[in-house]
């Protein structure tokens, strides 16, 4: 009886001991399965932060999602297989996410928003460069957006600077340069810039019109000065022509007077010669018989005397130089040589202009006469 009880106890112990071992083994397996499940879940969550090809972060990544993945990784045991790899991948995803969020918050529609300075741009570039070793695809995309924004910023800065300079010192050349800069500026900023440009254009047009008006006045003044100078030259030329004509007339008048005086002197000479001849004839007549004189030349003496008298009267009216008259009326005993000296002296005075007109008129027979005195 006692033997049976011992055998039964051994059997019971073996039964219950086997059951405990089985349960423990199952528990261990359950724990391992949970670890694997947690790891797979964490791994899957980490991979979900990236695109399908794992080349960049996913487009639906959020801060909340990254925090959730980081929590799953914390639940993994430290010795979990590939835990460090998942942690690094999650950290990289956060770096890329934050850099992209930072850039997207500063750029809208290809333009920087808010107050942007060159120092701020340098800071943004630094953030973008952090992505380069993590994802070439994301880096290229972010850098392209940044470069466009910088380009637009530079265009806008240059346009604003140009407008300011143009408003301070407006010129058509600078206006054209600024117009090109504004044309490159972002459309959202272009309207305001164009309004400022139009105001400067209106001012330039007013200045240009004023400059044209002043230039036209200068041209008119120059033309007027030329016209006046031309008139002065013409007047001077006319004065010279009139002066030459006057001198010519004076010379002609003196020449005419000289000719008339020469003719008068010649007439006086003829009269003097006629008078001498008449005296000689009278002397011959007085010595000859009276009847011969009367019969041979009736009336000749009377006619000759009358002619001589008329000639003397004509000569007296033509010119009355004292020396010539004295020579013409000189006594018979004066020689012909003395008479010619007097005539030559008178002519010399006439040619030199040493005469003065003392009278003029008409004989009543159609002949004009002028009377001169030798100075």
In a domain, 294, yes or no: yes
In a domain, 194, yes or no: no
pLDDT at residue 370, as a whole number: 75
Please tell me whether residues 272 and 370 are part of one structural domain.
yes
Which is nearest to 157 in space by CA: 128, 193, 200?
A: 193
pLDDT at residue 27, as a whole number: 57
Question: Burial level of 345, CB count in 10 A (0-12/13-18/19+)?
Answer: middle
Which is nearest to 145 in space by CA: 133, 128, 131, 120?
A: 128
Q: Is pLDDT above 90 for 99?
A: yes
CA separation (Å) from 271 to 175, 279, 333, 348? 104, 12, 17, 20
Please tell me whether residues 165 and 290 are part of one structural domain.
no
What does 271-293 look like in DSSP terms, one character per residue?
HHHHHHHHHHHHHHHHHS-HHHH
In a domain, 287, yes or no: yes
Average predicted confidence (pLDDT) for the chain: 74
Residue 159 and residue 185 in contact, taking contact as beta carbons nearer than 8 Å: yes
pLDDT at residue 102, as a whole number: 94
**Which residues are paired to 359 by β-bridges?**
371
In a domain, 157, yes or no: yes
Q: Higher pLDDT residue, 292 or 274?
A: 274
Contacts of 59 (CB under 8 A, 6+ apart): 51
Q: Is pLDDT above 60 for 23?
A: yes
Strands 107-108 and 111-112, by their bridges, are antiparallel
Which is nearest to 265 in space by CA: 189, 338, 327?
A: 327
Mean pLDDT of 91-101: 94
Q: What percent of the chain has pLDDT over 90?
A: 26
Q: Is pLDDT above 60 for 252?
A: no
In a domain, 13, yes or no: yes
* Residue 205: both structure tokens together: 């047009």
Please tell me whether residues 25 and 150 are part of one structural domain.
yes
**Which residues are paired to 361 by β-bridges?**
369
| Domain count along the chain | 2
Model confidence at 119, pLDDT cuts 50, 70, 90, reads very high
Model confidence at 261, pLDDT cuts 50, 70, 90, reads low
The residue among 149, 182, 215 that closes a domain is 182
Which tens digit of pLDDT belongs to each residue from 331-358? 444 455 666 777 777 777 777 777 787 7
* Per-state percent for the chain, helix, strand, coil, to nearest 5: 80, 5, 15
* Residue 51: both structure tokens together: 């695109």
Q: Is 116 helix (H, G, I), strand (E, B) or coil?
A: coil
pLDDT at residue 4, as a whole number: 47
Burial 268-295 (b: 16+ CB within 10 A, else e): bbebbebbeeeeeeeeebeeeeeeebee
The residue among 182, 199, 232 that closes a domain is 182
DSSP 8-state class, residue 57 = B
Q: Is pLDDT above 70 for 138?
A: yes
What does 158-212 look like in DSSP terms, one character per residue?
HHHHHHHHHHHS--HHHHHHHHHHHHHS-HHHHHHHHHHHHHHHHHHHHHHHHHH
Which is nearest to 290 in space by CA: 279, 306, 301, 304?
A: 301
pLDDT at residue 225, as a whole number: 93
In a domain, 230, yes or no: no
Q: Is 297 helix (H, G, I), strand (E, B) or coil?
A: coil
In a domain, 200, yes or no: no
Please tell me whether residues 22 and 146 are part of one structural domain.
yes
pLDDT at residue 241, as a whole number: 81
Q: Could you tell me the maximum CA-CA distance found in the chain, to the nearest angstrom?
A: 255
Torsion of CA 160, 161, 167, 173, to 10 degrees: -110
In a domain, 189, yes or no: no
Which tens digit of pLDDT belongs to each residue from 182-206? 888 887 788 888 888 898 889 889 8
- What pTM does this model have? 0.49
* Host domain of residue 300: 268-374
Terminal Cα distance for the chain, rounded: 213
pLDDT at residue 280, as a whole number: 45
Please tell me whether residues 176 and 283 are part of one structural domain.
no
pLDDT at residue 129, as a whole number: 94
The residue among 167, 182, 197 that closes a domain is 182
């Amino acid at each position: 009886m006692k033997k049976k009880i011992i055998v039964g106890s051994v059997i019971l112990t073996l039964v219950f001991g086997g059951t405990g071992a089985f349960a423990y083994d199952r528990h261990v397996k359950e724990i391992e399965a949970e670890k694997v499940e947690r790891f797979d879940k964490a791994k899957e969550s980490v991979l979900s932060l990236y695109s399908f090809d794992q080349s960049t972060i996913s487009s639906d990544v959020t801060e909340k999602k990254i925090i959730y993945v980081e929590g799953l990784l914390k639940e993994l045991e430290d010795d979990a297989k590939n835990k460090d790899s998942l942690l690094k991948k999650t950290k990289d995803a956060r770096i890329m996410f934050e850099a992209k969020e930072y850039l997207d918050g500063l750029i809208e529609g290809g333009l920087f928003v808010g107050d942007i300075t060159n120092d701020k741009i340098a800071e943004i570039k630094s953030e973008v460069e952090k992505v380069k070793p993590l994802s070439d695809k994301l880096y290229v995309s972010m850098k392209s957006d940044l470069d466009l924004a910088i380009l637009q910023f530079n265009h806008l800065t240059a346009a604003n600077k140009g407008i300011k300079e143009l408003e301070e010192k407006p010129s058509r050349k600078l206006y054209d340069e600024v117009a090109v800069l504004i044309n490159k500026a972002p459309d959202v900023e272009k309207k305001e810039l164009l309004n400022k440009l139009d105001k400067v254009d209106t001012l330039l047009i007013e200045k240009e019109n004023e400059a044209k008006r002043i230039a036209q006045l200068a041209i008119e003044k120059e033309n007027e000065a030329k016209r006046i100078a031309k008139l002065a030259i013409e007047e001077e030329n006319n004065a010279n022509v009139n002066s030459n004509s006057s001198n010519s007339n004076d010379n002609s008048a003196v020449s005419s007077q000289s000719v008339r005086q020469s003719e008068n002197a010649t007439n006086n000479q003829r009269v003097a010669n006629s008078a001498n001849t008449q005296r000689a004839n009278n002397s011959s007549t007085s010595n000859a018989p009276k009847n011969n004189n009367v019969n041979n030349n009736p009336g000749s003496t009377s006619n000759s005397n009358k002619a001589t008298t008329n000639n003397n009267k004509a000569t007296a009216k033509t010119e009355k130089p004292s020396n010539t008259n004295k020579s013409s009326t000189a006594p018979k005993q004066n020689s012909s040589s003395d008479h010619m000296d007097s005539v030559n002296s008178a002519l010399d005075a006439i040619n030199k202009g040493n005469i003065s007109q003392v009278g003029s008129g008409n004989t009543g027979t159609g002949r004009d006469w002028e009377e001169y005195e030798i100075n």
